[in-house]
Amino acid sequence: MNTEEVIAYLNDHPEVAEQILTEVQLPDPHDGRAISIGERQVIALRDKVKLLEVKLSQLVHFGEENDAITDKLHRLTLAMMMARSLPGLFNAVHFNLREDFAVPHTAMRVWGLKGHDSLVECSAVDAAATEYAAGLTHPICGADAPESVRALFGDSAAHLRSFALIPLRAEQMGGILALASEDAERFYAEMGTLYLQRLGELLSIAITRVA
């Protein structure tokens, strides 16, 4: 008999199917003891429920994390909107990233603006850094950063183990916002960059507004 014939026979003889469910023994998937098919089905359903509960818990956790990040980005956006000068804007960004996002090291360089050479963020940078930033189409994260970008962190550069590099771009302005940490897992290559992308876009527009 093939599979279809067996199924058809059991459908025509439900008493046989019931007997199979109660009498045929299968190994328990957890401890190997012999159990009935019915018990095996119950265990399988319980395992599926547990797996779904774990997945649901993960979704809730990710949702809560995203909500928290959204709230922080909203506060940073408000701070940028309230800034009335370029120094005030830069200070707000550094402060919020440090205090609200707990980013231990931030560095920013912007070029293409006139009349702000006295600001650290507008000071001259290595041509390699400007070329690197110009080539970024989106934020990147990971353990590596070009030496020209590492140099922006000064004496702290030697101790940094992970980076998030965000291009800044609007009209004639270009730049880069670099975040870094001594923790090698803080900014890892596989992490999402949606919020970093939004931060870069918001900051770029804010800079051109007050420059």
Q: Per residue in 9-64, pLDDT tens?
A: 656 666 655 666 665 555 666 666 665 666 767 777 887 888 888 888 778 877 77
**Residue 33 contacts residue 27 (beta carbons within 8 Å):** yes
Q: What local confidence, expressed as pLDDT, does residue 107 receive? A: 97
State the Cα–Cα distance between residues 87 and 120, nearest whole angstrom. 10
Q: Are residues 118 and 148 in the same domain?
A: yes
Task: State pTM to two decimals.
Answer: 0.73
Q: Are residues 104 and 195 in the same domain?
A: yes
**Residue 178 contacts residue 108 (beta carbons within 8 Å):** yes
What values do phi and psi take at 151, rounded to 5? -60, -25
User: Would you tell me the crossing angle of helices 37-82 and 86-99 to the nearest 10 degrees?
Assistant: 150
Q: Are residues 110 and 140 in the same domain?
A: yes
Last residue of a domain, one of 82, 98, 131: 82
Q: Are residues 48 and 143 in the same domain?
A: no
**Residue 199 contacts residue 166 (beta carbons within 8 Å):** yes
Tokens of 40: 């095996």
> Residues, the chain, total?
211
**Residue 155 contacts residue 122 (beta carbons within 8 Å):** no
Q: Are residues 51 and 126 in the same domain?
A: no
Task: Classify strands 34-36 and 25-27 as parallel, antiparallel or unpaired.
Answer: antiparallel
State the Cα–Cα distance between residues 135 and 129, nearest whole angstrom. 10
What values do phi and psi take at 166, rounded to 5? -120, 120
- Domain of 1? 1-82
Last residue of a domain, one of 82, 111, 129: 82
State the Cα–Cα distance between residues 174 and 138, nearest whole angstrom. 13
**Residue 78 contacts residue 95 (beta carbons within 8 Å):** no
Compute the C-alpha angle 185/188/189, nearest 5°.
160
Q: Are residues 71 and 109 in the same domain?
A: no
Q: What local confidence, expressed as pLDDT, does residue 41 receive? A: 74
Query: Per-residue confidence of the chain (211 residues) as pLDDT tens digits?
Result: 667 766 666 566 666 556 666 655 556 666 666 656 667 677 778 878 888 888 887 788 777 788 888 999 999 999 999 999 999 999 999 999 999 999 999 999 999 998 898 999 999 899 999 999 999 999 999 999 999 999 999 999 999 999 999 999 998 899 999 999 999 999 999 999 999 999 999 999 999 999 8
Last residue of a domain, one of 82, 98, 129: 82
Q: What local confidence, expressed as pLDDT, does residue 94 receive? A: 97
Q: Are residues 147 and 101 in the same domain?
A: yes
Alpha helices (H) in the chain, listed in sequence order: 3-12, 14-23, 37-82, 86-99, 127-135, 147-150, 194-210
What values do phi and psi take at 101, rounded to 5? -95, -5
Tokens of 100: 């609200």
Q: What local confidence, expressed as pLDDT, does residue 138 receive? A: 95
* Nearest Cα to Cα of residue 91 among 76, 104, 73: 76
